[in-house]
Amino acid sequence: MKRLGLAVAGWLVPGGVYLLTRRYLQFAVCAAIVCTAVIGGTALQGSVQWPAPADLRGLDPFTSIVFRGATFAKAMAGLPFLAAQSVGPQWDFLTGRVHEFGSALLILAGLVNALAISSALEREPLK
């Protein structure tokens, strides 16, 4: 149960697992990377919306799964992604998909946060 709580905190606050395990330098680096990537991705008009069924109409199943997976990877950035989604510019999924650099930065933010959670939980001893 403790690991689940750490994982949720690490998802919500980028690098939050490091903060809770008192590794402040790793927390600062991870939070800075994730927040900078989300800000950069949003500034470059990366999509922060989930694909609507109308966006996926006419696509083959594999492409549809890839689009949903990419959006899930972006959502792994946690609170910065949710903030960008709620207060940021509201481009629809297809409009944001055209701007690949912004979307790539948002995916990078989610993957870095997921790796930070994995790394911190791996080093946390089982109790």
pLDDT tens, residue by residue, 38-84: 888 888 777 777 888 888 888 888 988 988 888 888 888 888 888 88
How many whole angstroms separate alpha carbon 82 and alpha carbon 66?
Answer: 21
Q: Report d(CA 115, CA 40) in Å as an integer.
A: 20
Q: How confident is the model at residue 1 (pLDDT cuts 50, 70, 90)?
A: low
Return the pLDDT at 62: 92
28 Cβ neighbours under 8 A, 6+ residues apart: 15
pLDDT level of residue 28 (50, 70, 90 thresholds): very high
Angle at the Cα of 100 from the Cα atoms of 97 and 104, rounded to 5 degrees: 105
Q: Could you tell me where the DSSP H helices lie in the chain?
A: 2-12, 16-20, 24-43, 53-56, 61-75, 79-87, 93-98, 100-123
Place 18 in a pLDDT band, splitting at 50, 70 and 90.
confident
pLDDT (0 to 100) of residue 38: 87
Total number of domains constituting the chain: 1
The boundaries of the domain holding residue 14 are: 2-123
The pLDDT of residue 94? 61
